[in-house]
Amino acid sequence: MIAPVVDLAWWDRHNADADVALADVRWYLDGRSGRAAYESGHLPGAVFVDLELWLSGAGGPSVGRHPLPDPETFARGMALSGIGDDTIVVAYDDAGGVIAARLVWMLRATGHEAALLDGGLTAYQGPLEKGSGPTDRPYAAFTARAWPADRLAGAAEAADRGNTVIDARDRNRYRGEQDPVDPRPGHIPGASNLPCRENLAADGTFLAADELRRRFEEVGVFEGSTVISYCGSGVTACHNLLALELAGFSPGRLYPGSWSQYGQRADVDIATGSSPG
């Protein structure tokens, strides 16, 4: 399978290949429109993939803000985007891949070839395209596949101290100092904070694999660990899962409900502060 992250040089070599597609997956927690950002300027040839429409199902307190969509919805979104079963997808955003990672993880978890474009929009130096995107990518055949149970985790597994649980949110949200979207601040007891944005260097590209590996080892990730990644709603947690693979570890598991599900429950303990608790 393709590496979880590819650089612009890889894209330059393959951007004319018929079986390769570029996907723009911009989305903003503050409510700005990802589609509007895409239409104002995107990488040449990229299609827009809507996080809310195709990469998540209907949210709510019992399931979290961005639960995984049903496989049929995901398959329809890919097909309408011209992405088929055999398409190699390279996804990007303007935030170091922390949003686009959701699409890449979903594709890789279901056996498809997909990678993040290292550096994303900010790494590209050429002219951007504007408008609604390419019209020459035909409807593709994309088969709906069930989400693999061995790549997912639920609330009970995320709270199990026998697993190595990592929280991808920024440090102030993990500590419970403030939370802009969830009513109950804090983190899952036993979870270590590994902010996904700290997987990146100052220029927005990924740290070297050995540096990423040290980051994971510092929070107790070793070969053979059962790693579960969560965040606010199961989106940026995917960035840590891709970084985990880039660092040479076996794939981890996503807790899709994440804090937006766990923190809503009155029957569970929560932790605050900088230690796992």
pLDDT band at 196 (very low <50, low <70, confident <90, very high): very high
Query: What is the average pLDDT across 183-212?
Result: 97
Which residues form the domain of 236? 149-262
Q: Which residue has the higher pLDDT, 277 or 156?
A: 156
Cα-trace Rg, the chain: 18
Position 88 confidence tier, pLDDT thresholds 50, 70, 90:
very high
Q: Which of 214, 216, 194, 198 is nearest to 206 (CA)?
A: 198
Which residue, of 107, 123, 139, is where some domain finishes?
123
Residue 45, number of CB atoms within 10 A of its CB: 15
> What is the three-class DSSP state of 209?
helix
Q: Would the pLDDT of 136 be above 80?
A: no
Q: What percent of the chain has pLDDT over 70?
A: 99
**Whether residue 196 lies in the annotated active site:** no
We report the CATH number of the domain holding residue 194 as 3.40.250.10
Does 136 fall in a domain?
A: no
Residue 116 lies in a domain: yes
Q: Could you tell me if residue 272 is inside a domain?
A: no
DSSP letter at 123 equals H
> Does 168 lie in the same domain as 76?
no
Task: Give me the mean pLDDT over the 118-132 stretch.
Answer: 94
Task: Give 30's contacts (C-beta < 8 A, 6+ positions apart).
Answer: none
Out of 101, 168, 231, 243, the active site residue is 231
Residue 47 placed within a domain: yes
Residues 95 and 45 reside in one and the same domain: yes
Number of domains the chain contains: 2
Q: pLDDT tens digits, residue range 142-182?
A: 999 999 999 999 999 999 999 999 999 999 999 999 888 88
Q: 28 exposed, middle or buried (CB, 10 Å; 0-12, 13-18, 19+)?
A: middle
pLDDT digits (tens, 9 = 90+) for 216-234: 999 999 999 999 999 999 9
- Is 27 a domain residue? yes
pLDDT > 80? residue 135: no
Judgement on whether residues 110 and 180 belong to the same structural domain of the protein:
no
Total Cβ atoms within 10 A of residue 29? 14
